[in-house]
Amino acid sequence: MRLRHIEVFQAIVQTGSISGAARLLNVSQPNVSRVLNHAEQQLGFALFERRAQGMIVTAEGRRLLPEVEELYQRLQSITELTEQLRRGEGQTVRVGAAHAFGQMVLAPALVTWRQQAASVSVELVTEHFSTLCRSILDNQLDFALVFGQQVDADLLAEPLFQSSMVALLPLHHTHNEPVTLEWLCANNLLMMQSQDPLGRVLHRALRDKGLNPGVSLSIKTYSVIADMVLAGGGVGIVDLFTACRYADQLKLLPVAQPLPFEVMLISRRDRPQSQSTLQLKQVIRNKLWEIARQCESRFFTVKL
């Protein structure tokens, strides 16, 4: 018997009629009759006797019934499991993010996600780029939100958008125009590390202009640069999202020479992702752009 034969057989047993089985299966009566006739022709014996009071299971049909009911229960279990998978029940999505995205993007994105998929567990890790890449390659993370740079050939990079870095000054500083790299260096520019994704861009721009900041302090975490500016340690350059976190505490100004950066999602190239993972990635994309637009309206244009 084929699977469709079994479905029709079970439906007729449950309802006692061709019409009842058609309603249960949401198909037409001729369709049910055609499948039943085909099943009986293949088997070489009748499954039902057609009587005025309805369809009566034959002796052969009764012998099949326990096996059919057991299989039908298994089919129902499969249907329930696929529905659970569709809703993401029992699944865990493992997300990584650069520190700058943890509070500004991932926190509100996960709040939105929990409202949509409360049954899906999420593990969030904030780390530096190299650590996130290793974790994905070691299958410890499903994907990560990072600043763009060259990735391993086994990783897939999905660009989201591009923007430019922002200058941070003490809140009551009198300077109100876009600042040059020369001006920043002359006012104690707090430096990113040269091996950092955004640090590479900044260090290259400084080399091109022959500039050498006097401050020897080199900082890896962008929010620490902002905290140093807040503490009176100088001026800084950070990404758009870190800058937004300090918009009420520091003065944010464009840098006269564009210092572009890219945001991207990275994941393993050879591993298909679950439906829950894909849905969470879309929530993160939407939240990222929502926050970027809010920041854009405050001080400069975000470019696609």
Indicate if the pLDDT at residue 302 is higher than 70: no
* pLDDT > 70 in the chain, percent: 92
**pLDDT(59) > 80:** yes
Q: Which residues pair with 44 in a beta bridge?
A: none
Q: Where are the beta strands (DSSP E) in 140-289?
A: 143-147, 155-164, 166-170, 189-192, 218-219, 235-238, 250-254, 260-268
94, 136, 168, 200 from 182: Cα distances, Å: 42, 39, 15, 18
Q: Return the pLDDT at 296.
A: 67
pLDDT value of position 249: 92
* pLDDT surpasses 90 at 61: no
CB 24 within 8 A of CB 32: no
| Residue 86: Cβ within 10 Å count | 10
pLDDT digits (tens, 9 = 90+) for 257-276: 889 999 999 999 988 888 88
pLDDT at 174: 87
Give me the chain's average pLDDT, please: 85
**What's the DSSP call for residue 75?**
H
pLDDT bracket for residue 303 (50, 70, 90): very low
Per residue in 151-199, pLDDT (tens digit) is: 888 999 999 888 889 999 998 888 888 999 999 998 889 988 888 888 8
Confidence of residue 142 (pLDDT cuts 50, 70, 90): very high
- Across the range 119-129, mean pLDDT stands at 85
Q: Residue 136: pLDDT above 90?
A: yes
Mean pLDDT of 113-130: 83
Inform me whether the pLDDT recorded for 301 exceeds 50: no
pLDDT at 86: 65
Contact present, 94 and 140 (Cβ < 8 Å): yes
Residue 161 is classified by DSSP as E
Bridge-based pairing state of the strands 235-238 and 155-164: unpaired
Question: How much is the pLDDT for 116?
Answer: 80
pLDDT at 72: 77
Q: Give pLDDT, residue 236.
A: 92
Whether the predicted pLDDT of 300 surpasses 80: no
The CA distance from 97 to 136, in Å, is: 11
pLDDT of residue 90: 54
